[in-house]
A and B are shown apart, each in its own frame.
Chain A
């Protein structure tokens, strides 16, 4: 079980580093904050023994996770909502205005919780994915978010040279639960496909069982 205090600390660190110095090319000198924050999300999904509630209760109910220079600045706010967490992406223009909501994500931790704003992009399968995939012996993992299209990608290293990459794009319609994934064995990409979570689970388990 992960140390929840670490994750709380991560959020606070993220807030204090919101306006960290930029390099010559205009980018932030380090993206460690972003990575840590996403790890927090990742751990939250994969280890629901503790919840975002417990991690977030220590402070206000909304907070910035990170920002990034992406032409214009992109601010991301984390909102604690019932049964999950909501991310709001605000693009900041040259005058510092950030009233434009660029994209909203809703990560649900309740399997039957379909409550979401009409305009939100919805991830109904994340909880399922977490529950199911954690039965696999994930040796190491990394999660990355693509600010261009909002895709969240999980890199799950299952050992024995097997790497599972799972991407869920934020731009898909609400009811579309297909997932882009690839399975690579010893660096050779064996399967690249787009399918539902259940098909994915079946395929991953089959591949894994053949290996062990």
Chain B
């Protein structure tokens, strides 16, 4: 076991907002950066297209790795108090539990943190992910199945000849519009943790897809709606057009609005100091 200093600035304490509403923040013009940690070497995984434009060399490789997490993909807010160096800390057990709004003692998280060196970070602008559209479509094996799944279409689109044309052209039809949502999910040891959620078109749809498991060996003909949504999000928003850590402009988008105004400044500072004192000695696995 090796020991290190856990970055106390990641740890939540009473006085911070329990949950940040990113819609309000972004609508107010406060864009910010979120980052995702990927395993491996940046040089092997990424292709640079211009000074600040990157793509994954082999997108499907990473997609397989992310299947377990998507459609709730963990990310961290950058440009506020956390940096790419902090991403080397991996929280386990109780440390991953959602934060309850209180200040906690360091002893609860002994041996709950490990580190990794084999990683790199990619950065996304929050406004380019939050509330963005997700189009997913279903492939149908036969016309009858297709006709039984068109309730959401307009009367014009339900016209028999249009249906036939669309069905015969590709055995599929654009079905529904989902969306992306960044959800603030602070954990006991990382206030800056967020989840990128892929939301289907309706709650009913979400319930239906909730328990659908991913199987990487599915053929394209066997793709279900969830597969199609995830692949769309990955290929459209996540595997291309991001920054990497050396780009300084990422820090130009800090997140504000993090304090709970119902807690006095004095108490907030006291809690922050307490966290700093406690967590400067947390053992790292």
Residues of A within 8 A of B (CB): 27, 30-31, 34-35, 71, 139-142, 144, 146-150, 153, 155, 157, 159, 161, 163, 165, 167, 169, 171-173, 176, 178, 182, 184, 187-189, 192, 194
Contacts and interface: CB of A to CB of B under 8 A. Distances in A.
B241 A163 contact: yes
A32 to B, nearest CB: 8
14 contacts: A139-B49, A142-B55, A144-B57, A144-B59, A147-B60, A148-B60, A150-B220, A157-B49, A163-B53, A173-B170, A173-B171, A184-B241, A188-B128, A194-B174
Interface of B: 44, 47-50, 53, 55-61, 124-125, 128, 132-133, 135, 169-171, 174, 216-221, 223, 235-237, 240-242
Contacts of A167: 235
A155 B49 contact: yes
Given A140-B49, A159-B50, A187-B241, A35 B57 contact: yes
B170 A163 contact: no
Contacts of B60: 144, 146-148
B59 A192 contact: no
B170 A189 contact: no
A157 B58 contact: no
A178 B169 contact: yes
Central interface residue in A30, A148, A165, A176, by most chain B CB within 10 Å: A148
B58 A189 contact: no
Contacts of A194: 174
Contacts of A173: 170-171
Contacts of A150: 220
A192 B241 contact: no
Contacts, number: 87
B236 A192 contact: yes
A169 B221 CA distance: 12
A145 B277 CA distance: 51
Central interface residue in A35, A139, A146, by most chain B CB within 10 Å: A146
Closest 3 CB pairs of A and B: A157-B49, A149-B220, A187-B241
A159 B52 CA distance: 11
Given A172-B170, A176-B169, A192-B135, A187 B125 contact: yes
Contacts of B235: 153, 165, 167
A35 B58 contact: yes
Nearest to B221: A171
A162 B206 CA distance: 34
A31 B58 contact: yes
Contacts of A178: 169-170
Given A31-B58, A167-B235, A176 B170 contact: yes
Contacts of A171: 220-221
A161 B237 CA distance: 15
Given A157-B50, A171-B220, A165 B59 contact: no
A174 B122 CA distance: 38
Contacts of B48: 140
Given A163-B241, A165-B240, A155 B55 contact: yes
Given A30-B44, A71-B216, A187-B241, A142 B57 contact: yes
